[in-house]
Structure 1
Amino acid sequence: MSYNSENGLSYRIDKERWNYERAIAGKFLLVTTTDLNSWDVMVAYKNLKDVERAFDELKNLLKLRPIFHRTDKRVKAHVFVCYLALLTKRLITEGSHSDKRLKELKSLKMHELNTDNKTVWMRNETTHTQQEILESLDLQKPPKISPETPM
C-alpha cells in the first residue's frame, strides 16, 4: 500500500510486515536451558524485575553502600539489617495507599533523654492514622518510655 502527499512525501506500508509486527507487539521470547515449563519460566523471568527492584532499593533508597566495616561478619550483619529494612518497607507499603502509610510512619520517632545520669528513650505521640496502620500490620506501638536502647 503506497501513499503520496501534496508536499512530495511518499511512503509505502509493507502489509505483511505490518501484520507480523502487530501480531508480536508486546510479546517476548524467552530461551532457557532449565526443565521448567513455559509458564514457570515466564513467572520466574517476571519475578526477576522484583528482585532487581529490591536490589536497587537496597543500594539507593536504603543506602546499602558504601559499607565501611572491616570484617566479613559486620558486612554480613549490615546487609542483613538492610534486607530486614527492605522487607519491613515492603510489608508497610503492601496494598493501597502504600506511599501514604510509609510517609505517615516516618514521623514515629524515639528520642534519647539524659537526666540525672540516667538515659531513657521516649517515643513521640502516635497519631490516630499511625495507630491504624500499626494495627493493620498486627503490630503494637512501641512503649512510650523505655529504659533500654531501642533496636
Structure 2
Amino acid sequence: MAGRNVVDPAQVRAAVLGVGEWLRDPGLPEPGRGELGAAVKGTVRALAGSAPGHSVEVRVPPFVAVQCVAGPRHTRGTPPNVVETDARTWLLLATGLLDFDDALGSGALSASGSRAREIAAWLPIVALRATEDPGVG
C-alpha cells in the first residue's frame, strides 16, 4: 500500500494547472477548497518526497503540514525549523512564480530556525510561466 505522502507527479501537475490562472491573476475568484487543497497537499507532499527527512516542518494551514529535509528528527513540541505560509503564497513558491526570499521579505512567509531556508533548494516543484504563450497548447 502506498504511503499517505506518496504523490503521483501527473496528479500534482494537473492540480497545479487547475489553479494556475488564479495564481497568475489574483483578481480571479479563488478556486474551491477541494481544488486548492489538492494543489497545496500535492506540492507540499512532493517536496517531502524530494527532500525526505524530518529537520524542517512545512505548514500550509489548514491544508497540510509535513516534515522534510534530511537531518535531526523532531519528535515533540514546537519544531526548531518551521516554514509557514498561506495556500496562495505556497503555490506561488511551488510554481516558481514567487521567489522564496521575496516571500520572506514581504512577510507572506515565515521561516524560523537555521535550516528552514533549505527548502528553497527544492523549489519550484511544478514550474509555471508568469504568462502563457498564446500559440502553445
**Both structures adopt the same fold (TM-score exceeding 0.5):** no
Structure whose residues are more often helix by fraction? 1
TM-score w.r.t. the length of structure 2 is 0.29
RCO comparison, higher one (Cα < 8 Å, 6+)? 2
TM-score w.r.t. the length of structure 1 is 0.27
Pair member with larger Rg: 1
